[in-house]
Amino acid sequence: MENMTNKEYQKYAEKKVPKPTYFKNMLMAFLVGGIICTFGQFIRNLLFKSGLDEKAVAGGTAIILVFLGALLTGLGVYDKIGKIGGAGAAIPITGFSNAIVSPAMEHRTEGLIFGVASKMFIIAGPVLVYGVTSSVLVGILYLLLTKGR
Amino acid sequence: MEYIRAFIVGGLICVIGQIILDTTKLTPAHILVTFLTAGVILGGIGLYEPLVKFAGAGATVPILGFGYSLAQGAIEGAKSNGVIGAFTGGITATAGGIAAAIIFGYIMSLVFKPKTKN
């Protein structure tokens, strides 16, 4: 061990790094992501049945899923789902909710302003920055392209 | 049938994310930002709408769908109110989700204590 060169050590260390279990991870992401989306479809259908239009249904589904994601994060359940589902738990909008609640809870001790309110945007902040920026660009590009016609 | 379509499409989108997670050094936060931006672009060029029609929540629940709503809102805003609409449309369309995330995030962090990690 002690006589190893850097290169030898690197090789040794690489061997020790556990190889991700690709297939199992993909399967679990598929199942967990699929289940969350199926549940979303269930809420969507319920809202459609109550007579709401497409926009209200989209907004309502987002609100309900975000609430459930936040509640499950608060209860400590969503982290467990995340460990099982990986990207299957991160990519649905419930994962976005988790990305907000989790740091907000963790930094609670730093106070209500610089702890909770500030740290809840550690991940959601970049998401909103890129989302809003690109959407405004899309709108402006649309204007430029359709005015040219 | 629509539940099966939602399950399969939603599941496949997550599998793509999982492959990126496992084969690159990107974190889930990177994936969220990348997928959201991809959703805005796909929505902007009109490629995402057919998927929403086909898969319903399978396309709207993943963060790609959030991006799609942003783009869709911005285009609709631009149609009716020009440049101002391009600015207001995206957030208007997604206001429910954003407001919910902020208010529920705030409430949950007050109500619950983080579980100590073992």
Q: Which residue has the higher pLDDT, B114 or A42?
A: A42
A134 vs B: CB within 8 A = yes
* Residue B78 located in a structural domain: yes
ipTM above 0.90 for this complex: yes
In three state form, how does the secondary structure of chain B look? Answer: CHHHHHHHHHHHHHHHHHHHHHHCCCCHHHHHHHHHHHHHHHHHCCCHHHHHHHHCHHHHCEHHHHHHHHHHHHHHHHHHHHHHHHHHHHHHHHHHHHHHHHHHHHHHHHHCCCCCCC
Structural domain span for residue B9: 2-111
Residue in A closest to B37 by C-alpha: A131
> pLDDT by residue for chain A (149 residues), tens digit each?
567 788 888 888 777 776 668 899 999 999 999 999 999 999 999 999 999 998 899 999 999 999 999 999 999 999 999 999 999 999 999 999 999 999 999 998 898 999 899 999 999 999 999 999 999 999 999 999 997 55
Q: Please report the pLDDT score of residue B68 as a whole number.
A: 96
Among A58, A105, A140, select the one facing B83 at the smallest CB separation.
A140
To the nearest whole angstrom, how far is the Cα of B57 from the nearest Cα of chain A? 5
A81 vs B: CB within 8 A = no
> Which residues touch A19 (CB under 8 Å, ≥6 apart)?
none
B41 vs A: CB within 8 A = yes
Query: B67, B35 in Cβ contact below 8 A?
Result: yes
Burial category of B52 from C-beta neighbours within 10 Å (exposed 0-12, middle 13-18, buried 19 and up): buried
Q: Please report the pLDDT score of residue B40 as a whole number.
A: 97
Tally of CA atoms within 13 A in the half-sphere of A113 that contains its CB: 0
Rg, C-alpha atoms of chain A: 21
Chain B residues whose beta carbon lies within 8 Å of the beta carbon of residue A67 = 100, 104
- List the domain boundaries for chain A: 21-147
- Contact criterion met (CB < 8 Å) for A34 and B104: no
Q: Please report the pLDDT score of residue A21 as a whole number.
A: 83
To the nearest whole angstrom, how far is the Cα of A12 from the nearest Cα of chain B? 20
Q: Please report the pLDDT score of residue A12 as a whole number.
A: 80
* Residue B14 located in a structural domain: yes
CA B44 remoteness from chain centre: 14
Q: How many domains does chain B have?
A: 1
pLDDT at B118 over 80: no
